[in-house]
Structure 1
Amino acid sequence: MKYMKNPILFLLCLCSFLSIQAQNNNHNNRPKLVVGIVIDQMRYDYLTRFTERYGEGGFKRMMREGFNCQNNHFNYIPTKTGPGHASIFTGTTPKYHGIIGNDWFDKKRGKNVNCVQDDTVTPIGTDSKDGKKSPIRMLNTTFADENRLFTQMKGKTIGISLKHRGAILPAGHTANAAYWFDYDHDGTGNWITSSFYMDGLPQWVKDFNESGVAESYFKTWNTLYDIQTYVESGPDLNTFERIFKGKETATFPYDLKALKEDNGGFKIIAESPFGNSLTTDFAIKAIDTEALGADFVTDVLTISYSSTDKVGHDFGPNSVEVEDTYLRLDLELERLFTALDEKVGKGEYMVFLTSDHAAPNVPSYLASKRIPAGLFDEKAMRKELNDFLLQKYNQSNLILSRVNNQLFLDHQKIQESGLNLETIKNDVANKLLTYELIDKVFVTSAINHFEGPNGYLETLLRNGHNQKRSGDILFVYEPAVFKDTPWNRTGTDHHSGLNYDTHVPLLFFGKGIANGSTLQRTNITDIAPTISALLNISFPNGAIGNPLEFVFEVTQD
């Protein structure tokens, strides 16, 4: 009644009410939580090859209720874990975000560096150097960063992965936390972080580390179902798989407790499907204790399942071990989605799922089926090239490093010796073309621009080439050729721009997402702009991809 006597007060209250309603409506259009899932080394055909054996609550639920982009590819080279995670969440390629490999040659330091190495931070939860990590080397923002900025830092971001780069790069620069598993070099088996994010582990993480959950996975890994039913894979006993120390053959079962001492302790958990189970355990705990998705300010959770990559590298795409790992991962996804339904609410969260790269069969297996393939000795190549340059120019060790199919020359020595850099580049390139198994060679210009014609392969190389960080010479193998190392003679590897490395799943599911599928080509760099458009926030600052409008649910006015 008093409002009617005071029209000005009434109008002010009405405007305030309408403003609050508008804000609530705006928030209600956004998911409370965005979950970005990366399955490390997942080929697209793992969705189709194993589909009859998946349950209804994991991969199939995403495809049944969400949107399936069936022709999704990486649009740069090299297809590695670090660049993959950075590109998915920034919406751009190594050319701009600067993560040109898992490791690369740092021209200023004169040595190789890891993509998330940061010697200025201190490990939290461990004394291991694996705790000295941050996103400092990534040059662009992620959509999670943009969400934090848009919400005035109210929306949380947490990144989780067994691998440090799988946790750190997706979460971006403004993350509240990124946690990874201390498993390498006989690690502690704790979830750890660095001082980039915090001064000490939260109590819930300490409690989780002390709970014995990680230790509980030192158990026997046998097939989930009768091994005779694994008809989508090759025979369990073959010569194309890595054999764990302490076993005579790469065959089921695997007694992880008995094998742990000879295989890096907690590392063997990461190299089994139980590493994915541990990741789900920790992710669900984070959702609960960090109250992710508990209000109408959108939070972001990034989860990278790393054990698929470990198992893939050890055993290869045609192995029973890989098939069993994906059948078990399907159950982990169902467990995660059930937790999200209960804790955030059905229809209140949104999930996308993709991979950081795919993988081919190992060259020895392909060769056994008469498919062209091979192994190339890069170590011997570098020595031969340095000997060639020594003989021609009387200067030793002009090639400082070979990494990611790139060669880095000693610019300082070349300049001080009065030699011509471009001439040396061309000499090396011409010599490289004489090698069997090398298909193409490209040199960079004087100011380290990528040189080459405008073709499909050249575009991918250009997108992966960072002017300041990449090498002087780039070479490309023939299809199905790996660098010859002891670990590449079995299992698999990845790095190329060929379909076996670039074609990965892309599934969207949850609030705001339509039901359907497309064979239209999509690029990995389209994901971040799509999520940004869904949230009505700024695109990541270097994004080059386009929002995929067809994945959005059409709302009726």
Structure 2
Amino acid sequence: MKSLSRYAAVLLACAAPVVSVFAQDGAPAVSQQVPAGAPKLIVAISIDQFSADIFAQYRQRFTGGFARLTQGAVFPAGFQSHAATETCPGHSTILTGNRPAHTGIIANSWIDQSVTTGPKVVYCAEDVSKRTAGSKDYVASPVHLLVPTLGEWMKKANPAARNIAVSGKDRGALMMGGHDIDQVYWWKGKQFVTLAGRELGATAVAENAEIDKLLAKGAPAFPLPAWCGRQDRAVQAGTATVGTGRFALKAGEGDQFRVSPRLDRATLDLAVKLVDEQKLGKNSVPDILAVSLSATDYVGHATGTEGAEMCIQLTQLDMALGDFFASLDKRGIDYVVVLTADHGGFDLPERLHEQALEKSARVNSAVSPEALSATLGKKYGLEAKGLILSDGPSGDYWLRRDLDPGTKGKLVDDAKALLEADPQVEVVLSAAEIAATPMPTTSPETWTLAERARASYNPLHSGDFVVFLKRGVVPIPAPRAGYVATHGSPWDYDRRVPILFWRKGMTGFEQPSGVETVDIAPSLAALIGLKIPQGAFDGRCLDLDGGTGNTCGAVK
């Protein structure tokens, strides 16, 4: 299996909870000795675009699933510590225990210039070898993920372990589940789908049938909680008006379903059905269920983080999570939950201007690769088209591959000078500068921008230089319906996410100091007695017992 090639091993069949995997060719082994009292099911939940800031803002209002989780081990200032705070890189850290520099998932997409037909944008969860010429569709796959997920390690130690993932996005499910996954589903169009070549399971078919009925009938608007009243105000952003939405569902409107609390409710409903179908938590060894909830991100992009829409979304999500946990309780499963996010988020500048952040702005066109190409192409007498490439007005930029090294060096230096003279640009870092930066080892809130970039840098996919906009500059030049706000910066409003662990009977605590999402996998591995080869994780084991016990034990 490609994702486990670093630790190739011979599996030894064993029916008992104590299992071992011995390595071939001197590679390290993974083994598992399930401790007495270990949880039978790991439930790993990622809420797309659920920042630490918004968690703190709504925390006192939660009465459902979030309220339960706050009774466990609470890390309110967790970090997606890398700079490329997007969905795919963030999800790739949660259950691999590795930063994007090692997962290979440096962004949601990158530019591939290795093909003779010219540069192409590669999506992080796409098998480009199966791309059809002229088609806008793609074959979803975890092919670019370079390291194992926790579920893969569990199956490597014992094939009886079940590794299941469900999400509102393919990249959420695939980056948390990995390559060796028993069942995987994500929302696409008007239904849940799975990997190419696999048939939908009976539970997914049943869930899709229920959704079909809802889409055909439509549904009324959600009520606005009384305490959300101050957020119920129209804001104009370009041609879009946001701030007063209620998510009424018109008959047949799949996109209205997607950008609403209904998507998360359906994802959790499918997760419960999969618990029953796969008999999760009933096996001789622990199982894992990864759930990525995408609606908060869709709502954040479409309406921002501070309007009535987000208030309704988080209220409904809190209720849906409460019902989900109650369903697990009813089934008598001994489970442990971790909930975190793939990244944070930032509100739209038009509303921020009214809320004491006048310096927030939309990025100007001078930062675009087209503008840079025109200026530098003229200076050096080069064809401007495709001279400098990027997938947006910030992040990774690539130079045309046919340039000689000397010209490339000059172009990087000139691009850096031009961009850093722009009042909206904080810094430009070359690939050489980033690669020369040691991987940081200190607490993530203290990292320099170069260190944050280093955690995202992988030479297989990263650009020739990286552009970081100033704090508060949103990389959306012109807002439009469905896309008024975003994330992706190296700033802490996009990096900081809550990390919450809960298990029935655990001694809870709150630790405000910074930890990383890469600490999640080693912490869960320790709970179930899974011993991973040394050096396989960037993260560290967190002791989740608020008392005298130590959940890290011998693996600490």
Deviations 1:250-308 (A, max 9, x none): 534443215x5xxxx31211101111111111111111111111223111100011011
Q: TM-score, normalised by structure 1?
A: 0.83
Which of residues 92, 97, 100 in structure 1 aligns to 2:103? 97
Q: Is the 8 A contact 1:44 1:504 kept in 2?
A: yes
Q: Which residue of structure 1 lines up, in the alignment, with residue 502 of structure 2? A: 509
* Alignment match, 1:381: 368
Q: Structure 1: how far apart are the matches of 2:439 and 2:175?
A: 32
Rounded to whole Å, the distance in 2 between the matches of 1:510 and 1:217 is 39
Look up the match of 1:229: 227
In structure 2, the CA distance between the partners of 1:517 and 1:218, relative to structure 1 (3 Å rule), is farther
Identify which of 222, 246, 256 aligns with 2:249.
Answer: 256
- Superposed displacement of residue 147, structure 1: 0.8
Q: Is 1:408 the counterpart of 2:402 in the alignment?
A: no
Using the TM superposition, give the Cα deviation of residue 155 of structure 1 relative to its aligned residue in structure 2, in angstroms. Answer: 0.4
Q: Which residue of 2 aligns with 1:168?
A: 174
- Measure, in 2, the Cα distance between the counterparts of 1:213 and 1:520: 45
How far is the alpha carbon of 1:390 from its aligned partner?
2.1
For residues 264 and 465 of structure 2, what CA distance do their matches in structure 1 show?
38
SS where residue 520 of structure 1 aligns? coil
Q: Deviations over 1:1-60 (max 9, x none)?
A: xxxxxxxxxxxxxxxxxx9798999454321110000011012233332234322x4111
CA contact (8 A) 2:219 2:248 kept: yes
Question: Contact between 2:79 and 2:496, CA under 8 Å: does it hold in 1?
Answer: yes
Of 23, 29, 32, which aligns to 2:37? 29
1:465 equivalenced with 2:474 (yes/no) = no
The 1:77/1:341 distance shift into structure 2, 3 A limit, reads same
Distance, in Å, in 1 between the alignment partners of 2:84 and 2:199 is 35
Q: For residue 322 of structure 1, give the secondary structure of its aligned residue in structure 2.
A: helix
Match of 1:136 among 140, 143, 168: 143
Q: Provide the residue aligned with 1:63 in structure 2.
A: 70
Deviations 1:415-435 (A, max 9, x none): 2xx853212211111111122
Counterparts of 1:28 and 1:390 in 2: how far apart (Å)?
67
Structure 2: give runs of 5+ residues left out of the alignment.
Answer: 1-14, 20-31, 441-446
Mapped contact 1:58–1:331 kept (Cα < 8 A): yes
- Residue in structure 1 matched with residue 207 of structure 2 by the alignment: 208
The code of the aligned residue for 1:411 comes to R
Pair member with larger Rg: 1
Distance in 1 of aligned mates of 2:454 and 2:97: 16
Q: Which residue does 1:199 correspond to in 2?
A: 198
Q: Deviations over 1:374-426 (max 9, x none)?
A: 111357732232122222221113634113522100131x12xx853212211
Indicate yes or no: 2:62 matched with 1:54: yes
The verdict on how the C-alpha distance between 1:21 and 1:333 changes in structure 2, with shifts beyond 3 A counting, is closer
The one of 93, 104, 113 equivalent to 2:122 is 113
CA distance in 2, matches of 1:472, 1:78: 15
Asked if the contact 2:41/2:288 (under 8 Å) is kept, the reply is yes
Is 2:335 the partner of 1:349? yes
Contact 2:127-2:138 within 8 A present in 1 as well: no
Q: Corresponding residue for 1:363?
A: 349
Which of 517, 522, 534 is equivalent to 1:529?
522
Distance 2:122 2:153 in 1: 27
- Distance (whole Å) between structure 2 residues aligned to residue 488 and residue 499 of structure 1: 26
Task: Read off the aligned partner of 1:179 and give its amino acid letter.
Answer: Y
- State the superposition RMSD in angstroms: 3.1
Q: Give me the whole-angstrom Cα distance separating, in 2, the residues matched to 1:80 and 1:22.
A: 38
Alignment partners' CA distance in 1, 2:161 and 2:180: 11
Answer yes or no: is the 8 Å Cα contact 1:121–1:194 preserved in 2. no
Q: How many angstroms does 1:94 deviate by?
A: 1.2
Matched residue, 2:467: 475
2:236 corresponds to: 239
1:242·1:314 contact (CA, 8 Å) conserved in 2? Answer: no
Q: Which runs of 5+ in 1 are unaligned?
A: 1-18, 184-188
TM-score under structure 2 length normalisation: 0.84
Question: How far apart, CA to CA, are the structure 2 residues paired with 1:132 and 1:382?
Answer: 28
Identity %: 25
User: Aligned equivalents of 2:400 and 2:263: distance in 1?
Assistant: 42
171-180 vs 507-516, which deviates more?
Answer: 507-516
Instruction: Tell me how far apart the structure 2 counterparts of residues 399 and 21 of structure 1 sit (CA, whole Å).
Output: 57
- For 2:417, the equivalent position in structure 1 comes to 430
CA contact (8 A) 2:33 2:530 kept: no
The alignment partner of 2:512 has SS state of strand
